Chain A
Amino acid sequence: MSLALALRHTLGTATLDVAFEVPGTGITALFGPSGAGKSTVLAAMAGLLRPAFCRLVVDGTTLADTDAGTWIAPERRRVGLVFQDALLFPHLSVAGNLRYGQRRAGAGAIGFDEVVGLLGLGALLARRPHTLSGGQRQLVAIGRALLGQPRLLLLDEPLAGLDAARKAEILPFLGRLKSALALPMLYVTHALEEVAQLADHLVLLRDLRILGSGPVSEMAARADLPLAQRDDAGAVLTLTVAGHDPARRLTWLRRDGFSLLVALQTAPPGATLRVRIPAREVILARPEAAALGDLLSLHNLVPGTVRAIGADARHGAALVEIEAAGARLLSRITPDAVARLGLRPGAAVLALVKSVSVEVLAALC
């Protein structure tokens, strides 16, 4: 299962030229600032815009290959699209909107009741779109697209128009969709927190070009990408709750050989959690410092190896990418510290992380 796109299209005087291949499961975030070309990429994938060159293959089905003269019209492509402003049909009820795509697609793997249940739309079915809140409208739009039985779901900044409280309401629903449906989803956003919470894969787009693509856990910790230059740069990890210690008010998170102690969580053992460790919160030390562990307030002394060191011109700092038992961490320290510790790629290092510095983002079911 995979999703492969190659696309070239002239926009005014510039040319959008992108190509990426990502797994056909889970959520892939297409991340970039406005004007990077994200919406054009989505329009071409949905078939609403016909570029000079486009090849799109979803799970082995070629939806477009302009070189070979293949171009499936959007109405026969079965690529769902959720717009930023929902765009529900104002003359139909919520149920009418949901059934619009379903009627035309026929019965499929995704059932009406399942969608209504997953998105919590049961109480809204008879309502008219203009009586719904922005967040509810967006959920209905997602349901409507899903009932069109898409082979690929495109979401164009679905949360951009919502305030923080509404976003927090909707994010868990999107997380549920991911685990309930084996459907590739491409999620366009310029909000890094949505990427950190939802995405499994990340395609970085800037100035009509792809800067890189890969698993979020690797991309977020890369020292050489513009993501690392942001104030809120940091590693994103998906970990499992290994156990709680209520007496000490701590929770162990683990994946493979990597483990982390964080403040006590409510999620039961075995649950999967997304966490973020900001680069500015990660202290580096030489491996010998492990002996001092009992003298320090912090709980996490993670042994690892330096993978790469990048410059952070914006903060006049150095970015150190660390590999620790299969997990990737990112640390922002001064160039002076890099020199004093003698850090270079391949060097052994100890990453010190306060438990309270670990941001637990969301529970993924």
Chain B
Amino acid sequence: MRLTLAVAARAVGFGLPLAVLTAWLLARGRFPGRTLLNAAVHLPLVVPPVVTGWLLLVIFGVEGPAGRLLLAWFGVRLAFTTAGAALACAVMTFPIMVRTVRLAIEAIDPRLDQAARTLGAGRLDRLLTVTLPLGAPGIVVAGVVGYATCLGEFGAVITFAANIPGETQTLPLAIYSALQAPGGEAAAARLAAVSVVLALAGLLLAEWAGRWLRARVGR
């Protein structure tokens, strides 16, 4: 279980900043390829998780182009490791986080951005002093929902990182293993209860954090 939490934390820790940047580009940017980027971001949401896992294996596996470079340059192997499980989780939850953050950014009156502009704030300045503070409730919610979703990620993880106890065996994988083993029903039920509690706690936390932050920014 501790492994599951750590994997989810790494997935959100690396995925969320990238998701915020992508959401900002999609919400406020006008550039060629915007539609394509939008489609690419949403891909993991619509293809079967097993396919996502397999694609990751093709790209980041020891024989894949990115995987080979990582191994040669940094000595990092992703496939069948804890880091790999985190990567699979991050990719799977990325669209959900981008969508949530994007909705939050799009809900900000674009004229606030214009007001900041006439007051001398450049693009990055406006992102840091207007968009991020006002989008903070949405970003926090995205993080918590993304975290909760990571806890339940199965298909992509088992395909890319396999089901190695203590290394890549996250909660849903452990439940699956317990069910496969004879007499494992009791263990599976215990683990299932844990996962329900975790998910529920995550959703409640998201709701509460969003409300608190919204009150803080006066909206």
Residues of A at under 8 Å CB distance from B?
A: 46-48, 74-81, 83, 87, 89-91, 100-101, 104-105, 128-130, 144-145, 148
Contacts and interface: CB of A to CB of B under 8 A. Distances in A.
A87 B119 CA distance: 12
A81 B115 contact: yes
Contacts of A130: 218-219
B121 A75 contact: yes
A79 B117 CA distance: 10
A128 B217 CA distance: 9
B57 to A, nearest CB: 44
A78 B133 contact: no
A75 B119 CA distance: 6
Nearest to B217: A91
Contact of B109 (A80, A87, A145): A87
Contact of A78 (B120, B121, B216, B217): B120
Given A90-B219, A91-B217, 14 more contacts: A47-B118, A75-B122, A77-B118, A81-B115, A83-B111, A89-B116, A90-B217, A91-B133, A100-B116, A100-B121, A101-B120, A104-B119, A129-B218, A130-B219
A74 B117 contact: yes
Contacts of A129: 218
B118 A104 contact: no
B114 interface: yes
B51 interface: no
A144 B134 contact: no
Q: Interface range on chain B: under 10, 10 to 19, 20 to 34, or 35 or more?
A: 20 to 34
Given A90-B134, A90-B217, A128-B218, A81 B112 contact: no
A161 to B, nearest CB: 14
Interface string B117-136: 11111100100011001100
A83 B119 CA distance: 13
Contacts of B115: 81, 83, 87, 89
B28 to A, nearest CB: 14
A83 B118 CA distance: 11
A186 to B, nearest CB: 13
Most chain B CB neighbours (cut-off 10 Å) among A48, A79, A129: A48
Given A48-B114, A129-B218, A130-B218, A89 B121 contact: no
Given A90-B218, A91-B133, A128-B218, A145 B112 contact: no
Given A48-B114, A89-B130, A148 B218 contact: no
B22 to A, nearest CB: 23
Contacts of B122: 75
Given A90-B218, A91-B216, A91-B217, A100 B119 contact: yes
Contacts of A75: 117-122
A105 B118 CA distance: 11
A140 B133 CA distance: 20
B118 A76 contact: no
A108 to B, nearest CB: 11
A300 to B, nearest CB: 46
A144 B29 CA distance: 27
Nearest to B109: A87
A106 to B, nearest CB: 9
Nearest to B129: A100
26 contacts: A48-B117, A75-B118, A75-B119, A75-B120, A75-B122, A77-B118, A78-B120, A79-B118, A80-B119, A81-B114, A83-B111, A87-B115, A89-B116, A89-B130, A89-B134, A90-B134, A90-B217, A100-B116, A100-B119, A101-B119, A104-B119, A104-B120, A130-B219, A145-B119, A148-B118, A148-B120
A152 to B, nearest CB: 11
Give the top 5 A-B pairs by smallest Cβ distance, nearest first: A104-B120, A101-B119, A91-B217, A130-B218, A90-B218
Contacts of B216: 91
B135 to A, nearest CB: 10
Contacts of A79: 118
Contact of B118 (A48, A90, A91, A128): A48
